[in-house]
Amino acid sequence: MDIPRYWRLKDQRYRLLGTVCEECGHHSFPPRLVCPNCRSKKQKPFTFSGKGRVFSFTKVYQTIEKYGRQVPYLVALIDLEEGARITAQLTDINDDEVHIGMPVEMVVRKYYEDGKDGPVFYGYKFRPKLNAPEVG
């Protein structure tokens, strides 16, 4: 990712900044110009809480070169408390500990380094929610 694009997306990557529709209340991430629910153009910025639950997950064994040192890693579909569903890498968890419905929270972690002397890129990942009540 080039540096100008990275900085344009920094609010999404660091704060989970999306949009909420002023007409129907639908929450979108990433931000949308038009509501996918009612097609209204009346969108306003909305910062998600960063809390949610694992909807589904998988383990990635092959990836592009810049993420190569991280494989294998876990990726999940996360249902955020506010209603949006996003894809994110899971961190701070062993493979056998993740389960559907597990409470998670957003953290900012390193994505990758751009070459040997290039910038380091950070963004959101999700970890098990600290002090979460047991499910089941």
pLDDT in tens, 88-110: 999 999 989 999 999 999 998 77
What count of other Cβ atoms lies within 10 Å of the Cβ of residue 123? 19
The pLDDT assigned to 40 comes to 97
pLDDT recorded at residue 2: 64
Dump the DSSP string for 17-46.
EEEEETTT--EESS--SS-TTT----EEEE
Q: What are 13-67's pLDDT values in tens digits?
A: 667 999 999 999 999 999 999 999 999 999 999 999 999 999 999 998 876 666 6
pTM over 0.85: no
Mean model confidence pLDDT for the chain: 84
Q: Are 38 and 26 in contact (CB under 8 A)?
A: yes
Helix (H, G, I), strand (E, B) or coil at 127: strand
